[in-house]
Structure 1
Amino acid sequence: MKASKGRIFVGIVLLFLGIFMLLNHLQFIELRFALVWPLFLLIPGLIFEFSYFFSRRKNNSLLVPGGILTVYGLVFFLEAYYGWAFLSPVWPYLLLGVAFGLFQLYVFGYQDRSLLLPTFLLTVLGLSNILQSYYAFDFQLAVPVILILAGLFLIIKKR
Structure 2
Amino acid sequence: MERNRATIGLLIIAIGIVLILFKLDTFDFVFDFSWPFIFIFVSIVFHVLFFIRIFPTGVLIPGGILGTYGLLFLFLNFTDWHYLQYLWPIFVFGVAVGLFEFYFFNRQNPKDVLTAGIVLTIISIVFMSFSLLYSIGIYFIAGILILFGIWLIFGRR
**TM-score of the superposed pair, with normalisation by structure 1:** 0.38
Higher helix share: 2
Give the number of the structure with larger relative contact order, counting CA–CA contacts within 8 Å between residues 6 or more apart. Answer: 1
Rg (Cα) greater in structure: 2
